[in-house]
Amino acid sequence: MTNTGRVAVVTGGSGGIGRACVERLAADGFSVLIHFAGAKDRAEETASALTRAGVPAVAVGGDVADEAAMTAVFDIADRELGGVDVVVHTAGIMPLAPIAQMDLDTFDHIQRTNVRGTFVVDQLAAQRVRKGGSIINFSTSVTRLHIPTYGAYAASKGAVEALTLILARELRGRDITVNAVAPGPTATPLFFKGKSQEAVDQIANANPMQRLGTPDDIAETVSFLAGPARWVNGQVLHTNGAMA
C-alpha cells in the first residue's frame, strides 16, 4: 500500500459496509480514521491491522448525532492524521415495523441517528474537508423499492438524499464533491438478522444479477467517488445490480 497523504474519515467503519470501505480506501492509499458507535473492539482491531500493514489509522468512538462528539472525531483526524480529504458517512440504524405499529420513540431514534447524524457529520465535513475532497453519504435503494416495514428508515434516507443534493450546490467553488451511495440488499450481518434462508434466497434471486450485493461491491463505488470521479457531483448512485 502506497500512502498518498490523503485522509479519509469513515463513520460506522467497524463492520459490514463501513469496514469494507475502510479497507478499500486504505488500499487506495488513504490514511483512515475509523469511527465507531458501539463496536470498539472491531474498530480497534481494524486500525491495528492497518497500522501493522503500514497504513496510518486510528479508531475513534462517538454518537454521530452529537455535535461535540463528532467535532472531537474531526479534531483527532486533523491532529493525528493531518487533515480530512474524504468523509464516508455509512453510520445509521434500521429498526423495522409497519407504519401503523411503529413506536414513536423508535421513529424518533431513527431520525435522530440517520437524519440529524448526517446533518452533523455533513456540517463538519463542509467546514473541514480540503480542496479536491469528497463527502459521501449513504442512502438506500429502499427509497425506490417501497418495501413494507421500511417506512421510517426510508423516510430518513429520503432526507439524507435531500441534504446531499443541496450541500453539493452549497459548496460551489470549493472543488468538493458531495454524493450519496444507495445500496440494494447487501450481504452484511445487519441484512441477515431475522431473515430465514428462504427469504434471503428469494431476495437474491429477485435481482437480475441473481445474488446479493457484497460490502466490497459498495466499497468499489465509494472508492470511485473518493478518487477519480471528480465530475460526479450532487448525485445518488443506486449500487444494487439493477434491483431498482
Instruction: Give tens-digit pLDDT for 142-170.
Output: 999 999 999 999 999 999 999 999 999 99
In the chain, the amino acid numbered 170 is E
The string over 28-46, giving b where at least 16 C-beta atoms fall within 10 Å of a residue's C-beta and e elsewhere, is bebbbbbbbbebeebbbeb
First to last CA, the chain: 36
Give start and end residues of each alpha helix (H) in the chain: 16-27, 40-52, 67-76, 104-111, 117-128, 142-145, 151-170, 189-192, 197-206, 215-226
> In the CATH scheme, what is the homologous superfamily, with its name and number, of domain 7-239?
NAD(P)-binding Rossmann-like Domain (3.40.50.720)
In the chain, the amino acid numbered 147 is I
| pLDDT 10s digits, 106-138 | 999 999 999 999 999 999 999 999 999 999 999
Distances (CA, A) of 220 to 23, 27, 39, 152, 171: 11, 11, 23, 28, 25
pLDDT value for 15: 84
Q: What is the DSSP letter of 119?
A: H
With 0-12 CB in 10 A as exposed, 13-18 as middle and 19+ as buried, what is 78? Answer: middle
Locate the domains of the chain by residue range: 7-239
Rounded CA gap, 76 and 90, in Å? 19
pLDDT value for 1: 61
Supply the mean pLDDT for the chain.
96
Per-residue pLDDT at 244 exceeds 80: no
pTM: 0.96
Residue 25 burial (CB count, 10 A): 26
In the chain, the amino acid numbered 123 is Q
pLDDT value for 189: 85
Rounded CA gap, 98 and 150, in Å? 7
Distances (CA, A) of 79 to 22, 75, 121, 217: 19, 6, 18, 32
Rounded CA gap, 232 and 216, in Å? 20
Q: Mention every residue, 6+ apart, whose C-beta is less than 8 A from residue 73.
A: 9, 33, 35, 60, 62
Write out the catalytic residue numbers: 153
| pLDDT 10s digits, 166-217 | 999 999 999 999 999 999 999 998 888 888 999 999 999 999 999 999 999 9
Answer positive or negative: Cα dihedral of 108, 109, 112, 115: negative
